[in-house]
Structure 1
Amino acid sequence: MARRGTDPDILRSMANEIRRKREITQSLSLASRRQKYMLPKDITVPGYDLAHVYLPCDAVSGDFYDIVPLEDGHEVAMFIGDVSGHGIEAALFMGMGKMAMGIFARQHRVPSEVLAHANDELAEDLDSETFITGLYALLDAQTGKLSVGRAGHPKPVIFNPRRSPKWSYVEAKGLVLGMAKGPVFRKSLAEAELVLAPGDLFFLYTDGLVEAHDEHNEAFGNDRMLEIIEKHGSRSPQEIIDALVREVEGFLSGKPLGDDVTLIALKRK
Structure 2
Amino acid sequence: MSVRAKIIVVDDELHIESLIKQVFRKKIREGDYEFIFAANGIDALAKLDQYGDVDLALSDINMPEMDGLSLLEKLIERNPVLKVVMISAYGDMQNVRTAMNRGAFDFITKPIVPADLEATVEKTLRYVARLKSAIKLEQELSIARTVQLGLLPNGCMSSNDFEVSGFCEPAQSIGGDYYDIIQLSHAKFGIAVADASGKGVSAAIYMTLIKGLLHANATVEHSPKEVLIKINTLLHRIIKRGSFVSMIYAVMDTSTGEFSYARAGHLPPILVSEEDDVREVPLRAKGMALGLANSAAFAFTIDEASYTLKHGDALVLYTDGFIEARNPRGEEYGMERLQQAAFVHCLNSTATDMVRAIVNDVKAFAGNAPQHDDMAMVAIKSRTQR
| TM-score where L is the length of structure 1 | 0.93
Query: Does residue 237 of structure 2 align to residue 124 of structure 1?
Result: yes
| Equivalent residue number for residue 377 of structure 2 | 263
Instruction: Report the secondary structure of 1:246's partner residue.
Output: helix
Secondary structure of the structure 1 residue equivalent to 2:353: helix
Q: 2:198: which partner in 1?
A: 85
Q: After superposition, give the CA deviation of every residue in 1:37-85 in whole Å (9 maximum; x if it has no partner).
A: 1010134331212222222211112111110111x31111111101111
* 2:318 matches 1:231: no
2:297 maps to which residue?
184
Q: 1:14 & 1:219 partners in 2: Cα distance?
A: 39
Identify the residue that residue 112 of structure 1 maps to in structure 2. Answer: 225
Q: Does the C-alpha gap of structure 1 residues 244 and 42 become closer, same or farther in structure 2, counting only changes over 3 Å? A: closer
Q: What is the CA distance between 1:19 and its match in structure 2? A: 3.0
State the secondary structure of the residue aligned to 2:214. Answer: helix
SS in 2 for 1:79: strand
- What residue is the counterpart of 2:324 in the other structure? 211
Amino acid at match of 1:258: H
Shift of 1:257: 2.3
Q: Which residue of 2 aligns with 1:163?
A: 276
1-structure distance, mates of 2:288, 2:178: 18
Superposed CA RMSD: 1.8
Which residue pairs with 1:14 in the alignment? 127
With CA pairs under 8 Å and 6+ residues apart, which has the higher RCO, 1 or 2? Answer: 1
For the residue of structure 2 that corresponds to 1:6, the secondary structure is helix
2-side partners of 1:232 and 1:171: how far apart?
A: 23
Mark the CA change 1:13 to 1:146 in structure 2 (over 3 Å): closer, same or farther: same
1:136: which partner in 2?
249
Deviations 1:163-186 (A, max 9, x none): 264421221110001111110000
Larger radius of gyration: 2
Cα distance in structure 1, aligned partners of 2:167 and 2:156: 13
Is the contact between residue 160 and residue 234 of structure 1 (CA under 8 Å) also seen in structure 2? no
Counterpart-to-counterpart distance in 2, 1:44 and 1:247: 23
Aligned match of 1:193: 306
What amino acid sits opposite 2:284 in the alignment?
Answer: E
Contact 2:181–2:192 (8 Å) recurs in 1: yes
* Contact map agreement 2:263 2:287 (CA 8 A) in 1: yes
Q: SS in structure 1 opposite 2:281?
A: strand
Question: Partners of 1:33 and 1:244 in 2: how far apart?
Answer: 24
Shift of 1:156: 0.4
* CA distance in structure 2 between the partners assigned to 1:249 and 1:206 by the alignment: 15
Q: Which shifted more, 226-235 or 6-15?
A: 6-15
Moved over 6 A (4+): none
Q: How many residue pairs align between the two structures?
A: 266
Structure 1 stretches of 5 or more lacking a match? Answer: none
